[in-house]
Structure 1
């Protein structure tokens, strides 16, 4: 029962999203042939236990997991940054309105100017001179006392290469964040499945404890018959009753632990009552070479896709830094209107401008950007190499644990079968007066431990299968 006594702690550890630390790997033996699917222990739920399907449990853990919610929020942040980067490539339309109050009004009075000019010419010519004022402009206001003005401006970037590559880098950031959501979902679901299989193992231990009680009850009756027949002493009955009491206590402990596990699963799924999840059988992975599994994992793992997106973003960052040395070209158009005529005499107008801007020296900002981009790329490349090594080691360790789990389950099943045969033989010999009650109690205890060990080996194999599937990048 050592495994069951630590089940609650194991359940909590299984629910963590971060994978276990990777240990050094020893060469693994050849993989065993494919076996039938590994089925969980079937058990009936208590009336107060909520029974749900695995699909519903996966949906609930997606909704309840806070790490997954944080990753989804980071996707929104990355999409916002991408939209900001795109804005540098799109036209900008601005509308402004203003009211101006000056201290005084200033104007050019063309009529008074012409009057003065005629008077001067007449004095020079010694005769009246009159100028043709048909084409003369009207008076022009230079500075109005009050003015209301509205302006609309459209600016269109024609050439801004660094902004384009900044946008591509931001798009790759979105891709990396979206791939991270798959990573978080896979880890959360893998952790849930481990916890559920531990819960199934707790149910199996209740069954084992119940069989232990039934076997002990039969032995008490056998001992009583042997005492009546005179083939043994009353001490055998007392020892059998003591053994029965011990098994009943273990059954009570197993049921209590099972209830605690179901409560923990309910909390994990955001439920306020104990939950039992109906688990399907786990398919035994077919035989594959280690190198093939590693290659599959490097192709299918979402972490690899996210890292590749980060690498592409770093490449785009370097390209953007180089294009900062190039000039930029933009076209600007404006329309404006005022309640006071401009110098042209019109109250409306427009203006078009073509701007070429080439920064010749900015204090080293662009070179600093380039150095930063190169450092980012070097860091990402190192992280990518480390991720590949980590995935390779995870796959190899998971495969080793899977092979070990298969081997230990086969040995545990054989040990349980031998213990069952030994228990039957000992009880038959006890009834015939050939064996003593000590031998019977010893074989019954070994049978109980063998059945418990088999369930422990079954849970270990199930967790190894889940870990291997997760390491290969297969989605639940």
Structure 2
């Protein structure tokens, strides 16, 4: 037995269970969640795959400059009337001829061939378009990384918000329980009517329902965060970072270009290069051809030997059945579509930046107003409780002030959450890391 009377085996069992529980609980900070999202977020994985696809296309376009080297080997067997019954003169007097068979003939023909492009205008333009597409995809991937940081922060802070909402619901439940006990005591003493107890019991039941709803919403927020980070639903997660205080609205003087806008601009350049590539199909292609080959034939021909070939090939397609005209029209349509998307992106960005500042200002003002409203609701609730205890107030007034206090608590929690996200979104809309709004504001 220990000094306090707890059996030692039971004490060690408690310690062991606590250690086991602590190992299954995962502490997750905001920075750790952001690091996990870089590897697990499906959106980033899709963007990375598109970038790799564009890089592969650019790699294929290197054929515009690099040679094509191929090797071939052919086994040959020929048996025809041209090599059977062939008249062959014989030496002697008089000179006579006799027919001989030289077939079937069997042998191998091997060779190495090199084709070096000298001038291929459409392939050169296609390679330039592919390079621009790679840059566009990289800009899009960088924008996705910035956007996912805001999304992870939103879900992370939403989980904290739901935890705070549950705590506020628990406070409301305790206040409702206290009001119910107070109403029952006043009723037993003849200081309150039956109506007061019924109202208090109704408010207590409603508070219990709000607690259950808050727990469900917190569980849903946790599962949403786990799903984004690729964490198993059964794995327990405890958030170690806190919801920061909102930062005051600050206009950014040096707005940098957004990655999504840069991606659209480069995509237009790539589409323009694709138009040039399709038009360049009218020009001829010039290639250098070099071939070395070896022939190994059997008896009786004995045609073994080798040879080489060097040639300059000019290929000019004058008409391909309107296929070239169709490709030019298609590339021009894609270029127009890319320019329309670029213009729409510019208009959308200007609108988003203006809206982001107005939401930040509104969120900041709403957070301060919610703080004052909660303080006033707390004073009103204390006054109503004291008046009811002194027999000067009614249960209706007490429950009304409690309900008002509950609403203001939730409004303050939501206002703080919205103000923090509004500041982060403002930074994102101006091309900066959204987390700068939390730790290193730009002036």
Tell whether the structures are fold-level matches, with TM greater than 0.5: yes
Q: Which residue of 2 aligns with 1:163?
A: 123
Task: Indicate whether 1:266 and 2:223 are aligned.
Answer: no
In 1, the alpha carbon distance for the partners of 2:388 and 2:319 equals: 101
CA distance in 1, matches of 2:102, 2:426: 83
Equivalent of residue 60 in structure 2, options 72, 84, 105: 84
Separation in 2 of the partners of 1:213 and 1:151? Answer: 89
Query: In 2, Cα distance between the equivalents of 1:382 and 1:324?
Result: 26
**CA displacement at 1:168 relative to structure 2:** 1.0
Distance 1:333 1:142 in 2: 33
Match of residue 318 from structure 1:
275
TM-score normalised per structure 2: 0.78
Contact conserved, 1:262 with 1:276, CA < 8 A, in 2? no
Q: Which has the higher contact order (CA 8 A, sep 6+)?
A: 1
Q: CA deviation at 1:222?
A: 5.8
**Which residue is equivalent to 1:375?**
333
2:388·2:398 contact (CA, 8 Å) conserved in 1?
Answer: yes
Does structure 2 retain, via aligned residues, the 8 Å contact 1:93–1:152? yes
CA contact (8 A) 1:57 1:277 kept: no
Report the equivalent of 1:36.
none
1:288 to 233, 242, 251: 251
Q: Distance in 2 between matches of 1:311 and 1:413?
A: 49
For residues 11-32 of structure 1, the C-alpha deviation after alignment (integer angstroms, 9 at most, x for no partner) is xxxxxxxxxxxxxxxxxxxxxx
1-structure distance, mates of 2:336, 2:199: 72
Secondary structure of 2:282's aligned partner:
coil
CA distance in 2: counterparts of 1:92 and 1:417, whole angstroms: 79
CA distance in 2, matches of 1:409, 1:396: 20
* Unaligned runs of at least 5 residues, structure 1: 1-45, 120-140
State the alpha-carbon separation in 1 of the partners of residues 416 and 245 from structure 2: 11
Work out whether 1:185 is the aligned partner of 2:145.
Answer: yes
1:151 Cα deviation after fit: 0.9
What does residue 175 of structure 2 align with?
215
CA 1:283–1:175 in structure 2 vs 1: closer, same or farther (change >3 Å)? Answer: farther
State how many pairs are aligned. 402
Whole-Å separation in 2 of the counterparts to 1:368 and 1:241 = 78
- Matched with 1:304 is 261
- Which SS does the other structure have where 2:111 is aligned? strand
CA distance in 1 between counterparts of 2:310 and 2:102 reads: 23
Q: Which runs of 4+ in 1 moved over 6 A?
A: 141-144, 224-230, 343-346
1:328-367 correspondence to structure 2 within 5 Å:
328-340=285-297, 347-367=305-325
**Separation in structure 2 between the aligned mates of residue 322 and residue 142 of structure 1, nearest angstrom:** 55
Structure 2: how far apart are the matches of 1:376 and 1:215? 65
TM-score by length of 1: 0.73
Residues 369 and 199 (structure 1), Cα distance of their counterparts in 2 relative to 1, 3 Å cut: same
Given the superposition, is the C-alpha separation of residues 410 and 259 from structure 1 closer, same or farther in structure 2, using an over 3 Å criterion?
same
The unaligned stretches of length 5 or more in structure 2 are 1-20, 96-100, 436-443
